[in-house]
Amino acid sequence: MTPRVVLLAADHAGYELKQDLSRHLVDLGYQVVDLGTDSSDSVDYPDFAHRLAEGIERGDAGFGILCCGAGIGMSIAANRHPGVRAANCMDERMAGLAREHNDANVLCLGSRLLDPDQAKKILWTFLETSFGGGRHGRRVEKIEGVKAGARA
């Protein structure tokens, strides 16, 4: 069986959580592509959000995980890219709904708001929940249409 690939990136505030989640993903059988940062030295979060989003755009992986202090900045930056649906999730229910209803493909986590065990539960729910399709598919298509500049 080919391992599932997940892109992973963080800024300085999310560095420790990224490292913890990377080990956790490997333990779960995922192949992790770590896009940085490589320390807790201050960096600009958009650089890493864009790097990961570009990988999702290219099809390097089906899912991406972004970690920063609150998850907000990373989600805003990542969502600037076509085909990226980044969701900042604070609990398992949000993660499940982001996948089921919005076909989210990037999970954003706030290291200053979540403990590592919470983050792992949210991550697991995100990765293991399928997109519901149906009426949700129509809505996701409309999101992508707006990103491309064609409003319905």
Catalytically annotated residues: 68, 101
List the Cα angle 136/62/56 in 5-degree steps.
100
What are the φ/ψ torsions at residue 65 (nearest 5 degrees)? Answer: -125, 125
Question: Containing H/E element for 118?
Answer: helix 116-128
| Number of other residues whose CB lies within 10 A of the CB of residue 146 | 10
Helix (H, G, I), strand (E, B) or coil at 113: coil
Contacts of 146 (CB under 8 A, 6+ apart): 152
Contacts of 91 (CB under 8 A, 6+ apart): 118, 122
